[in-house]
């Protein structure tokens, strides 16, 4: 169960609801809050919880969260890169390095140094701890077992996230693909160039 789903369940249990019929396919969630920002956060949490439940109904497979999945993928991709000859191994190693940015960003958003967290996670995964993840509840860089702590993510979210990220990177790297930028606003340039390009003389009347 993810944190968003837990928060959604906690919100449901903490509020009062009236159920007129057990066979109704429609549910109304009433949220109470003191400020608009707090209400927006709760609304996003409810939306994330509902989407997580929908994802579980489609595919119930889960992976370790907290950056554990990305770090294990990074380790395996880097190991695969060591077996490649020539310049290909550098591209594969950079892809493995890019996977480590997910737990690093998670740590930095929590106010912890990302480099230290990535170093600790790298050492833990090299030791064979595949479910080692960033401990977000700790005030300092720490590692926790995501499987034991029940910090899990949907497999579909990881799968489609990687697909879209790789697809976007491949589109940028293709030579035959041109990213068109919209022209900025402002006054249009004169069709005849600058004032020194063409000089128009007025007729002289005697």
Residue range 151-171: mean pLDDT, rounded: 88
How does pLDDT run across 101-144, given as a tens digit for each residue? 988 998 888 888 888 989 999 999 988 888 888 888 888 888 88
Domain spans in the chain, listed from the N-terminal domain onward = 3-58, 68-173
The residue assigned the tokens 């057990």 is 22
DSSP secondary structure, the chain, as one string: --HHHHHHHHHHHHS----S-TT-S--------SSHHHHHHHHHHHHHHHHHHHHHHH---EEETTTHHHHHHHHHHHHHHHT--TTHHHHHHHHHHHHTHHHHHHHHHTTS-HHHHHHHHHHHHHTT-TTEEE-TTSSSS-EEEHHHHT-EEEHHHHHHHHHHHHHHHHHHH-TT---PPPPPPSPPPPTT-STTTS-PPPPP--
pTM metric for this prediction: 0.64
How does pLDDT run across 33-56, given as a tens digit for each residue? 788 888 888 888 888 888 888 888
Mean pLDDT of the chain: 78
Class of domain 68-173: mainly alpha
In the prediction, which pLDDT does 57 show? 87
């Amino acid at each position: 169960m993810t944190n968003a789903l837990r928060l959604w369940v906690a919100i449901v249990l903490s509020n009062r609801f009236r159920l007129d019929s057990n066979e109704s396919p429609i549910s109304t969630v009433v949220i109470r809050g003191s400020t608009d920002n707090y209400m927006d956060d709760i609304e996003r949490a409810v939306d994330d919880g509902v989407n997580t439940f929908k994802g579980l109904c489609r595919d119930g497979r889960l992976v370790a969260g907290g950056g554990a999945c990305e770090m294990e993928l990074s380790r395996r991709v880097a190991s695969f890169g060591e077996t490649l000859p020539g310049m290909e191994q550098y591209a594969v190693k950079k892809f493995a390095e890019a996977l480590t940015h997910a737990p690093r960003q998670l740590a930095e958003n929590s106010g912890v140094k990302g480099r230290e967290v990535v170093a600790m996670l790298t050492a833990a995964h090299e030791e064979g701890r595949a479910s080692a993840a960033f401990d977000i509840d700790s005030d300092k860089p720490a590692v926790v077992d995501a499987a034991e702590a029940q910090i899990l993510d949907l497999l579909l979210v990881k799968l489609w996230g990687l697909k879209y990220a790789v697809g976007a990177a491949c589109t940028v790297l293709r030579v035959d693909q041109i990213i068109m930028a919209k022209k900025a606003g402002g006054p249009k340039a004169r069709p005849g160039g600058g004032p020194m390009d063409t000089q128009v003389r007025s007729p002289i009347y005697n």
